């Protein structure tokens, strides 16, 4: 259920707040705007206020309402078998049923990893590990997600529209593709498909179905990476084991790849500051130590 945190890398103050508290992104920004967050750098005479995009280093001390913050030493991740008619957000703007009741029962500080649209059922992951969430959601990491589709129409094995799932379907200026598609069951009146995606753009499967003239009656996410719902019933949730979390990391490319992406982002940030004629000397020094280590 819990996993030790990786070594500390410089991170934006906003991310440090997420890594150290149970505040949502909005609550963290609100606390910052109210002047409740300050940072004491080594050798500085007093804490100072920083922008949310400024970097926090391992030897900095961050305070929230005068209390010292420490990045959490372990994380928790869970899976929910999401019911239909539930908006997969922390708060539905129209007052409809959302994730509030589930989050109230879960460990504080977890948030949903991505989204399922309101009508879709199936696996929705939750975690308080932003690095794991980003790794799962990043399209370059190719984390596979398997969906079950109920079509209110019969399809033959040689229906040319099936091949279009993998060949690509134009959607709003881009081409959406599935990794694979297969017929799981059919009758004279309906067809059940299994579709594997690595992308997962907004309502992608529903939009692909409309483009291909498929009459989609129900959509259900069966798995994410190596994790399947198994016997977890609709509306139930459970914590992930340490092995399951490791399996997710492996499917998302591993912790080393996530660290490499963060280092690359820091290098790009330093380069951009140099090109602006405003080099970040502290970041430059940190990168030099990193390269020498």
Residues designated as active site: 117
**Residue 119 near residue 84 (C-beta atoms within 8 A):** yes
Residue 78: partners with Cβ closer than 8 Å, 6 or more residues away: 106, 107, 110, 125, 126, 127, 237, 238, 239, 240
């Amino acid at each position: 259920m819990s996993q030790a945190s990786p070594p500390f890398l410089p991170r934006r103050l906003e991310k440090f707040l997420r890594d150290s508290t149970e505040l949502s992104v909005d609550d963290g920004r609100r606390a910052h705007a109210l002047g409740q967050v300050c940072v004491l750098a080594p050798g500085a005479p007093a804490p100072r206020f920083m922008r949310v995009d400024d970097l926090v280093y391992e030897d900095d001390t961050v305070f929230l309402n005068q209390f010292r913050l420490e990045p959490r030493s372990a994380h928790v991740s869970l899976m929910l078998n999401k019911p239909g008619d539930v908006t997969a957000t922390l708060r539905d703007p129209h007052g409809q049923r959302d994730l509030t009741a589930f989050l109230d029962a879960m460990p504080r500080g977890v948030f949903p990893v991505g989204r399922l649209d309101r009508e879709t059922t199936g696996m929705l992951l939750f975690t308080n590990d932003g690095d794991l969430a980003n790794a799962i959601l990043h399209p370059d990491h190719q984390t596979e997600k398997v969906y079950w589709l109920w079509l209110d129409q019969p399809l033959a094995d040689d229906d040319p529209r099936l091949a279009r799932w993998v060949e690509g379907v134009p959607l709003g200026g881009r081409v959406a593709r599935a990794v694979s598609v297969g017929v799981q069951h059919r009758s004279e009146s309906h067809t059940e498909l299994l579709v594997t995606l690595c992308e997962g753009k907004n309502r992608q499967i529903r939009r692909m179905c409309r483009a291909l003239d498929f009459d989609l009656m129900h959509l259900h996410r069966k798995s994410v990476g190596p994790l399947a719902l198994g016997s977890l019933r609709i509306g139930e949730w459970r914590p992930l084991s340490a092995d399951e979390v490791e399996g997710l990391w492996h499917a998302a490319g591993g912790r080393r790849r996530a660290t490499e992406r963060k280092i690359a982002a820091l290098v790009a940030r330093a380069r951009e500051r140099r090109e602006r004629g405003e080099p970040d000397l502290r970041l430059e020094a940190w990168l030099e130590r990193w390269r020498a280590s």
